[in-house]
Chain A
């Protein structure tokens, strides 16, 4: 099986966000593999271990993303590809990202492409399905289970709390939902081995793409913090008095029950 996992470098979920002059401040922040993409890498490795083949992890971004690709290699992926757009593109949107990724994948004959269902930074969840559509292959989003038998695939997807069992066939793109698996931590030997695994770096030129081909269709014009919440009220007195006061406040003051 020829398996690809799509990986994005994102802020650590424990990081506080600081906005300055309409931009997110990245100085000193910790970066990780987007948590949903970590499920994707883990699933790719498990599928390979069961069915054979090779796992390639693919990331789009700047040189810094090499670190997250090395982590994925240390988890057990076989090789990595970084499409470096740092020098070519000032702004990108999901249209641009999907176009670049699909241009790379179009002649790779992937049997299975696994992505996270959403990146915790931008949060649009578009790139996976867009890539599948551009490649002309089927996709199933927010999966919590994947079984492959020959070229058939049976998946369970989370649909707002309901579970749908889907039957389809390869080639296929899936996006990972929480609960799909428990991503492994890279082992020390894994980290050592990862240093020697191939990591290929490409630019738009190598994909025969011009900046115009991938020009963003949307533009971010401002980034700002949510309004600060005024301090709330901690109620006092006997617990039973507090509870009746609370229910009364929710009913009369806040008017939400």
Chain B
């Protein structure tokens, strides 16, 4: 049976995040020919609607309100629930981002529904769809099914391929006016500390440092390499515990679980708890002076050597490759 599916687009600094397009692709698989409706919430989001259509949404519903400029669970749940009441979808797909993680359990609770979080793969279509998600931080996977009623999932960024962008597609865009009241949380301040706006969970390339990096300064070459490759910097628990970097960069079973296209582990030995957070990356490179280090067991390519020698050389090689003059 075809299903009507609601997805929530997510913008950052005025641009749609890639995961928004991934939710549309996931919704298409679930919908089996039904309608995929994209929801956009913000203070000014109508200009983004067309791009959601180009990535496969059949319709777009926008809710614009000054209280939606920044995400709060109260404001966003009120706006989303208003769209839900209007559309009465059979299924909902959100990204498993900071916002999706915070918002989806509240919505699921309001809707008395199940919620399959952090899906990395969908098998089958429509009613027969089965959802695969990592458990034990990726040490194992489970396959989950809805037992009926509203189907609600969140998808992990970077795992479900978006549909090709088609600029000739068109779709209906409508707006809904929602009264947003009784906000219990006020965001007093935001300090941005993510590297160059490339978020770890969505980064295609991650350069991660461990204890071997030895100091906060030791991370600087990693940052330069990440910058050259358009990626983000991460760290092992050892490096965070030693205060070389902030805990927000930690990758592992405690910390973030990431699946970039390229993961370069620099001076990381590869404790089980770290490997749980990165071993499902598509290509893994290990740079470590200890040839027995565990990390080589999951690496596609390894260099046994001194990172302080290897990383600067890599920077030069990448610069050559990218055609920019060596400094």
Residue ranges of A at the interface with B (Cβ–Cβ < 8 Å): 11, 13-17, 19, 24, 35-36, 93-95, 98, 120-130, 132-134, 138-142, 144, 154, 158-169, 177-179, 216-226, 229, 231-235, 239-240, 242-244, 246-247, 249-251, 254, 256-257
Interface size on B, residues (CB 8 A): 95
> For residue A240, which residue of chain B has the nearest CB?
B313
- Complex Cα distance A47/B122, Å? 43
| With A219-B145, A250-B301: A162-B190 Cβ-Cβ less than 8 Å | yes
What's the dominant secondary structure at chain A's contact region? Answer: mixed
A14 cross-chain contacts in B, Cβ below 8 A:
271-273
Partner among A123, A178, A219 whose Cβ is within 8 Å of the Cβ of B255: A178
Answer yes or no: B89 CB below 8 A from chain A CBs: no
**Additional 12 contacts, C-beta under 8 A, given A139-B73, A218-B146, A256-B282:** A19-B140, A94-B108, A130-B108, A142-B98, A159-B98, A160-B200, A167-B188, A218-B115, A222-B142, A224-B143, A254-B300, A257-B229
Residue of B116, B142, B276, B306 with most chain A CB atoms under a 10 A cut-off: B142
- Complex Cα distance A169/B182, Å? 13
B255 cross-chain contacts in A, Cβ below 8 A:
178
Partner among A11, A122, A218, A251 whose Cβ is within 8 Å of the Cβ of B114: A218
> For residue A251, which residue of chain B has the nearest CB?
B321
| With A11-B136, A226-B280, A229-B298: A246-B105 Cβ-Cβ less than 8 Å | no
Q: Are A226 and B138 in contact (CB under 8 A)?
A: yes
Partner among A24, A179, A256 whose Cβ is within 8 Å of the Cβ of B247: A179
Q: Are B97 and A226 in contact (CB under 8 A)?
A: no
Q: Are A120 and B253 in contact (CB under 8 A)?
A: yes
How far does the Cβ of A16 sit from chain B's closest Cβ, in whole Å? 7
Residues of B120-179 whose CB lies within 8 A of A: 130, 133-147, 149
Residues of B240-276 whose CB lies within 8 A of A: 246-250, 253-255, 257, 261-262, 271-273, 276
B314 cross-chain contacts in A, Cβ below 8 A:
243, 246-247
A120 cross-chain contacts in B, Cβ below 8 A:
136-137, 253-254
A19 cross-chain contacts in B, Cβ below 8 A:
140
Q: Are A133 and B106 in contact (CB under 8 A)?
A: yes
> Can you list 15 residue pairs at the A/B interface with Cβ under 8 Å?
A14-B271, A16-B139, A94-B114, A122-B135, A123-B137, A130-B106, A163-B248, A219-B144, A219-B145, A232-B299, A234-B302, A240-B313, A243-B317, A246-B303, A250-B262
Q: Are A24 and B140 in contact (CB under 8 A)?
A: yes
Q: Are B262 and A161 in contact (CB under 8 A)?
A: no
Q: Are B194 and A247 in contact (CB under 8 A)?
A: no
- Complex Cα distance A15/B135, Å? 13
How far does the Cβ of A130 sit from chain B's closest Cβ, in whole Å? 4
User: Could you say which of B20-28, B40-48, B283-291 contacts chain A?
Assistant: B283-291
Closest 9 CB pairs of A and B: A217-B114, A161-B194, A133-B109, A129-B105, A179-B247, A124-B117, A218-B114, A126-B105, A256-B262
Q: Are B317 and A244 in contact (CB under 8 A)?
A: yes
Q: Are B144 and A168 in contact (CB under 8 A)?
A: no
| With A120-B136, A216-B114: A160-B98 Cβ-Cβ less than 8 Å | yes
Q: Are A164 and B190 in contact (CB under 8 A)?
A: yes
How far does the Cβ of A191 sit from chain B's closest Cβ, in whole Å? 24
A223 cross-chain contacts in B, Cβ below 8 A:
135, 140-143
Residue ranges of B at the interface with A (Cβ–Cβ < 8 Å): 73-74, 97-98, 101-102, 104-106, 108-110, 112-118, 130, 133-147, 149, 184-195, 199-201, 204-205, 229, 246-250, 253-255, 257, 261-262, 271-273, 276, 279-280, 282-286, 291, 296-306, 309-310, 313-314, 317-318, 321
Q: Are A166 and B310 in contact (CB under 8 A)?
A: no
What's the dominant secondary structure at chain B's contact region? Answer: mixed
Q: Are B106 and A129 in contact (CB under 8 A)?
A: yes
Residue of B104, B139, B303, B305 with most chain A CB atoms under a 10 A cut-off: B139
Partner among A126, A139, A224 whose Cβ is within 8 Å of the Cβ of B140: A224
- Complex Cα distance A19/B142, Å? 11
| With A24-B140, A129-B102, A246-B303: A162-B192 Cβ-Cβ less than 8 Å | yes
B135 cross-chain contacts in A, Cβ below 8 A:
121-123, 223
Q: Are B303 and A242 in contact (CB under 8 A)?
A: yes
Q: Are B304 and A234 in contact (CB under 8 A)?
A: yes
How far does the Cβ of B286 sit from chain A's closest Cβ, in whole Å? 8
A142 cross-chain contacts in B, Cβ below 8 A:
98, 102
Q: Are A217 and B113 in contact (CB under 8 A)?
A: yes
| With A35-B254, A218-B147, A219-B147: A239-B309 Cβ-Cβ less than 8 Å | yes
How far does the Cβ of A111 sit from chain B's closest Cβ, in whole Å? 15
> For residue B282, which residue of chain A has the nearest CB?
A256
Q: Are B199 and A167 in contact (CB under 8 A)?
A: no
Partner among B149, B253, B301 whose Cβ is within 8 Å of the Cβ of A235: B301
A220 cross-chain contacts in B, Cβ below 8 A:
142-144
| With A122-B135, A216-B114, A218-B146: A140-B105 Cβ-Cβ less than 8 Å | no
- Complex Cα distance A244/B248, Å? 32
Q: Are A168 and B186 in contact (CB under 8 A)?
A: yes
> For residue A257, which residue of chain B has the nearest CB?
B229
B142 cross-chain contacts in A, Cβ below 8 A:
220, 222-224
Partner among B97, B147, B186, B309 whose Cβ is within 8 Å of the Cβ of A217: B147
Q: Are B187 and A160 in contact (CB under 8 A)?
A: no
Q: Are B117 and A126 in contact (CB under 8 A)?
A: yes
Q: Are B189 and A162 in contact (CB under 8 A)?
A: no
Q: Are A126 and B108 in contact (CB under 8 A)?
A: yes
